[in-house]
Amino acid sequence: MPTMKDLFDALFGSIVGYASAYPLATFVLLGLGAVAVAVVARNVVGLAIVGCGAIAGFALAFLTGSRSELLLALWGALWLVSIGFLIFGGPQGSATSAND
C-alpha cells in the first residue's frame, strides 16, 4: 500500500515536471486564469486591473525569461486581486438607471 509521501510525490512530481517542461503553457494558465476569475466577478474595475497586470506579466516573462521570482510574485498578486474582486466587488450597475 502506498504511503502518503508516495502519493504526494506522484501527484506533485508530475505537476512540477509538466510545469518545468512547458513553462509557456504554465504562465499562460497562471495569467489567463486570473483574468477568467475577474471576468466571472463581473466587475469592470477588477477586470481592468487584472487584465493590465496579466499583460505586464506576459511582457515581464518575455523580457526576463521564465525563471523569475518577480514574475511568480506578480501572478500570485493577480490571483489574490481577482479572487478579492470575486468575493468583495459585486457587479457594477449601469450608468443610467431605469428608475430615473
Model confidence over 35-89: pLDDT tens digits? Answer: 988 888 888 888 899 999 988 888 888 888 766 778 888 888 999 999 998 888 7
Q: Phi and psi (nearest 5°) for 78? A: -65, -40
Q: For 4-28, how does the pLDDT look when each residue is reduced to its tens digit (9 = 90+)?
A: 877 777 776 766 676 667 777 777 8
pTM listed for this prediction? 0.67
Contact 55, 10 (CB under 8 A): no
Answer yes or no: are the C-beta atoms of 53 and 74 closer than 8 Å. yes
**Going by C-beta distance under 8 Å and a sequence separation of 6 or more, which residues neighbour residue 100?**
none
CA dist 65 and 63 (Å) reads 6
